[in-house]
Amino acid sequence: MGGLVVIALLFTVAILADVLAPYPPDQIDTDFILESPSARHWLGTDILGRDVLSRILFGARVSLSVGFVAVGISSLIGVILGAVSGYYGGTIDRVVMRFVDIMLCFPTFFLILAVIAFVGPSIWNIMVVIGVTSWMGVTRLVRAEFLSIRERDFVLAAKSQGAGDYRIIFLHILPNAMAPILVAATLGVAAAVLVESGLSFLGLGVQPPDPSWGNMLTEGKDNIEIAWWLSVFPGCAILITVMGYNLLGEAIRDTLDPRLRQ
């Protein structure tokens, strides 16, 4: 419930950022540069006098958008490859699994850095690159579920009635394999938020003046001795978001798997 509350609040903040933000996120006010938290600016201002609270609220949109789109892409790829591999087995299974093993040999973050260096940093490139480099875990989960479920009686009954492979995969087996997929997707959003923040921190993610928790941390790093709030508040936003998704993922796993219930 704690994770669900946190995620619900994040969605509310992201959707209503235009209403909740006290200032536009890119409004520059040179009279209040690096102002500490006060009644005028609750979380202080940055090196250009922009309101930190407003930028954090709008940054929630970026982080959640990247997380969901990236996880959507990785889940789609992982489900298709895992379903085909687990259902057909044999040569197809061996080829898919060797491809997964090859992809797992590359450190994901450095692979993303290499791709971004070629395609250029932007929010859409970040979404796609994170998605197409993080599908391997989902593939292995789906494959394992399909290997187990394809031998059950209801699948054999569907085959005996003349059901085609497409119908069996997507209408009979996949709905019964959704539990680990939902857990992996929930935890994957948290991982994608961390990756996006890391890329933005390095200057390879969302580019200024668009607000992102990662590029806000970069500004905080350069002024940490005189403006602690530039690092603390965006860092807390990342911490709370990742913690919320991890708690929610654990709860979904415990709920959908009766063996884990106390």
pLDDT, the chain, mean? 86
* Topology classification of domain 2-260: MetI-like fold (1.10.3720)
Q: Nearest Cα to 241, choosing from 196, 207, 178?
A: 196
| The pLDDT value given to residue 80 | 93
Q: Is the peptide bond before 209 cis (omega within 30 degrees of 0)?
A: yes
Q: What is the pLDDT of residue 209?
A: 79
**pLDDT at 258 (0 to 100):** 61
What value does the CA radius of gyration of the chain take, rounded to a whole number of Å? 22
Given this model, what pLDDT does residue 261 score?
54
Rounded CA separation 128/260 (Å): 34
The predicted pLDDT at position 208 comes to: 77
The pLDDT score that the predictor gives to residue 259 is 60
In the numeric block, which tokens belong to residue 87? 């259902």
Phi/psi for 65 (5° steps) reads -65, -45
Q: Which residues of the chain have pLDDT under 50?
A: none
Give per-residue pLDDT as tens, 101-141: 998 888 878 888 888 878 877 788 888 888 888 899 899 99
Q: What is the pLDDT of residue 105?
A: 87
Tokens 């978001």: give the residue.
241
CA-closest candidate to residue 212, choices 65, 60, 66: 60
> Which pLDDT value is given to residue 140?
92
